[in-house]
């Protein structure tokens, strides 16, 4: 499996619900997640080590995120899991209809990603 990518993420405009999920098979925290609000008021940021999944939902009409990455962007090395997969049960806010990118909408479920060997160990 190709090397992963670590990220440092913040929201510089607006607000997002940011979710980090452990996708490392064999990890004691596999499938567990943490959610936090990132916004242009508190200026919090989150560090994601290699093997952690990341998703976010805008909570304001517009929001801008900034990523500092450990390696250059390489779409062919990316792994994805569908952010609305019920098995993950990520804490998306009620009353907000998710708008998914084409990439996220086409992402496999956790079970499919596991069966195909796409998740990091």
Q: Per-domain residue ranges for the chain?
A: 7-116
38: left (phi over 0), alpha (psi -120 to 50) or beta: beta
Structure tokens of 51? Answer: 């093997």
Q: What is the pLDDT of residue 2?
A: 52
Q: What is the pLDDT of residue 67?
A: 95
Strand partners, 57: 17
The CATH class that applies to domain 7-116 reads mainly beta
Average pLDDT for the chain: 92
- Does the pLDDT value for residue 110 go beyond 90? yes
- Does the pLDDT value for residue 3 go beyond 80? no
pTM exceeds 0.85: yes
Cα–Cα distance, 6 to 3 (Å, whole number): 10
CB of 56 within 8 A of CB of 34? no
């Amino acid at each position: 499996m190709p090397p992963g990518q670590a990220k440092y993420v913040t929201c510089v405009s607006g607000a997002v619900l940011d979710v980090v999920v452990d996708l490392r098979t064999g990890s004691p925290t596999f499938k567990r997640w943490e959610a936090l609000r990132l916004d242009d008021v508190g200026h919090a940021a989150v560090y994601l080590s290699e093997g952690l999944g990341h998703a976010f939902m805008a909570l304001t009409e517009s929001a801008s995120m900034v990523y500092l990455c450990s390696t250059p962007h390489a779409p062919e090395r990316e792994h994805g899991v569908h952010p609305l997969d019920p098995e993950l049960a990520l804490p998306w806010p009620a009353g907000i209809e998710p708008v998914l990118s084409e990439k996220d909408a086409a992402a496999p479920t956790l079970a499919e990603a596991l069966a195909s060997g796409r998740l990091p160990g």
